[in-house]
Structure 1
Amino acid sequence: MELTFQTAAPTERLYSARQSMQIEGQTGCIGHLRADMGEDGKGFFKTWKGHRENLSTEEFQQEFESVLNALVGDEQYGGFLKSRDAMRDFCQECPESSFNDGFAFGFRADTAQYAYLIRLQPYKGEENLFIYCYRRDWLDSHMKQAEKGIRFITPHYEEKFRIADGDSVRIRCQDGRVLDRVCRYIDDCHVEVGTGWDNLYHICQFAEMMERNGNSVIPLRNSLPLICYGKVPEKRAIVMFERGFDGYRSASYVTKGRTSQKLVDELNSEMGVSKAQAAAMLAGATQGWATPAADPKNYDEQGRPIKPRNQDRGDAR
């Protein structure tokens, strides 16, 4: 058995947790194993939950047993299943695998036919290991389609904005309520909004429902920070932007000989906010979060708008 092992990409981490029946069906999710290391951190108490019994073939079961043995005993994969201490040390050596505010660590192991999405939680009192097992070709095919993003449209099929699979939207209700919902890609015309038995919508059905109820919808992109600092033309002072909220609030800082823009860049850099993200946050807070300008992918590293490739062709003559 040839096994490749690597840190899970952010999009892959979505599949290291339980999915809806729609997504499990499309990704070929066979089932998942969860385990904890016990009170002393040296045990291995596991439970298996099957999702697609027709895919749980004898061939798969034999391979999965070999994968588990490799992750326990083969040092080339870190040996992180030997104990909770070994798991913790392994996770600390792979900080890029961290997600959920450092509570979980994601990895992916592949064989020729199957993909194993692994979530580690190396803490006493928690379930320490989750392994979700997929048909590799089904999973990769679904993820490739999901790269196109989730479309939000008007009832007349005019595109308003797109978000990445796993990003959220904010629904502003007519009665003043604000609802934040995680969205999952199903196919080009269907989306899951939140959780529950009635969360699956055709994108036009969802648009019609929002319009009928007098609600508005804006994207809450994970590519944007929760907060950042910036400057707006109408104010000389430094201001703070919050993702998903219109406008800004003043932030009192002493420049100490620096320009206010220099201080803004320093403050954002300390929080890990790039200039592209800061530019998108400014646009979202002042122009609207559904505008293309509120997406950091539309800026370069210096926070300057990226021109469309075909722009300026007519002017060059």
Structure 2
Amino acid sequence: MNEQTFDLSPMKLEEAIYSYSNSQQICSQTGLIGYLRADMGTNGKEFWSTWNGFRNDLKTDAFRSEFDDVINSLREKGQFLSDRQTLSNFCDDTQKALKFGERYCAGRDYGVRVNTQDYAYLMRLNPHKGEYNLYCYCYRKDWLDSHLAKARRGIRFINSHYKEQFHIPDGDHIRISYPDGSHKDLTCRYIDDYHFETNEKVRMNNLFHICEFAEMMEGNGNTVIPLRSSLPDQCYIYVPTENRIGIVKKGESGYYKTDILECNKIKTHDEAKTFVDELNSKLGVTSAQRAAMMAGSMFGWHTLAADPKSYDNKGQLMKTQNKTRDTAR
């Protein structure tokens, strides 16, 4: 197989979670055949690999032959799997590989997708010595793409009266708060429009129908809110009634007072807001995120106002989106 017989592109962020281990349910639905794990040895020029199978019925002779050709082609001199230095240079090129960011593996992983006629290879790359440099998850392309298209609709959360409360994307998080004041944060995965699974068991189960989950939560006196990955863990806000700088933390009501002194040297509210914007900019927090964090802390994290998608780049609420379903995701 030569380079022209397959398509290579940066992995999409929605695909990144499928380049890690998933449940049997998700692996079956996406047509996972298995994955290859490899490292480039001490000198960075070797290729020690191990195959871990999942669906032997999908591991046909045609797949084996094609997969060998793909890997061997990418190991040729000058290709990104030829040695660790070439891999590192490849990962540094944002036009070629997706950097996963802090959401996955503290930002140390990168991803590409290789497509052939029948298969999709999601390659998670790590150019660091002493770690596995490649995880290649092999899928039936039509099964994976069908699941991804459905998963884009997100995971719905409703109350016991079947009224929708909020949406989250596949792989995002929720917080369950219990009557005793404790809470648990969970990662949720899309199964279909009426089912999702969590990364930890809740009352001996981790696969739920959305109605079952709502009734169980309300019956136990629990509350559920989204912890959107599109929001930062915390941000600065200006509190005009107290003329001070505060910190809002994701998932929590109200704000924390800071060690920053009251804005005695700031004469106007506009100057104070500018100062807060500068503080948030250093954290990488956008105006839309800051506005959503403030709304969440005041009105509830399940509301549309607590979603950055509801704001423009100046942090102004976009009224035209209030009625669209996407803003709840």
Q: TM-score, normalised by structure 2?
A: 0.88
**How many Å separate the matches in 2 of 1:98 and 1:20?**
21
Report deviation, 1:238: 1.8
Does the 8 Å CA contact 2:171/2:188 hold for their aligned counterparts? yes
Report deviation, 1:230: 1.6
Does the 8 Å CA contact 2:304/2:322 hold for their aligned counterparts? no
Query: How many percent identity over aligned positions?
Result: 49
Does the 8 Å CA contact 2:13/2:100 hold for their aligned counterparts? no
Deviation string, structure 1 residues 79-104 (Cα, Å, up to 9, x no partner): 12112222222222337524332211
> What residue in structure 2 maps to residue 39 of structure 1?
42
Matches within 5 A, 1:56-67: 56-67=59-70
Q: Secondary structure, in 3 states, of the residue corresponding to 2:74? A: helix
**How many Å separate the matches in 2 of 1:255 and 1:4?**
59
- Equivalent position to 1:273, from 285, 288, 309: 285
Q: Secondary structure, in 3 states, of the residue corresponding to 1:117? A: strand
> What residue in structure 1 maps to residue 255 of structure 2?
248
> What residue in structure 1 maps to residue 296 of structure 2?
284
Q: Which amino acid aligns with 1:87?
A: L
CA-based RMSD of the aligned residues comes to: 2.0
- Equivalent position to 1:129, from 113, 126, 134: 134
Report deviation, 1:232: 3.6
- Greater mean alpha carbon deviation, residues 190-199 or residues 119-128: 190-199
> What residue in structure 1 maps to residue 326 of structure 2?
none
**How many Å separate the matches in 1 of 2:132 and 2:238?**
45
**How many Å separate the matches in 2 of 1:143 and 1:302?**
31
**How many Å separate the matches in 2 of 1:4 and 1:46?**
23
> What residue in structure 2 maps to residue 80 of structure 1?
80
**How many Å separate the matches in 1 of 2:322 and 2:17?**
35
Does the 8 Å CA contact 1:97/1:107 hold for their aligned counterparts? no
Q: Which amino acid aligns with 2:15?
A: E
Report deviation, 1:41: 2.0
- Greater mean alpha carbon deviation, residues 122-131 or residues 230-239: 230-239
Q: Secondary structure, in 3 states, of the residue corresponding to 1:15? A: helix
> What residue in structure 2 maps to residue 202 of structure 1?
209
Q: Secondary structure, in 3 states, of the residue corresponding to 1:229? A: strand
Gapped regions of structure 2 (runs ≥ 5): 324-329
Does the 8 Å CA contact 1:168/1:221 hold for their aligned counterparts? yes
**How many Å separate the matches in 2 of 1:146 and 1:222?**
16
Q: TM-score, normalised by structure 1?
A: 0.91
- Greater mean alpha carbon deviation, residues 39-48 or residues 177-186: 39-48
Q: How many residues align?
A: 308
Q: Which amino acid aligns with 2:314?
A: Q
- The yes-or-no answer on 1:167 pairing with 2:172 is yes
Q: Secondary structure, in 3 states, of the residue corresponding to 1:308? A: helix
Q: Which amino acid aligns with 2:174?
A: V
Q: Secondary structure, in 3 states, of the residue corresponding to 1:247? A: coil
Report deviation, 1:141: 0.9
**How many Å separate the matches in 2 of 1:194 and 1:255?**
48
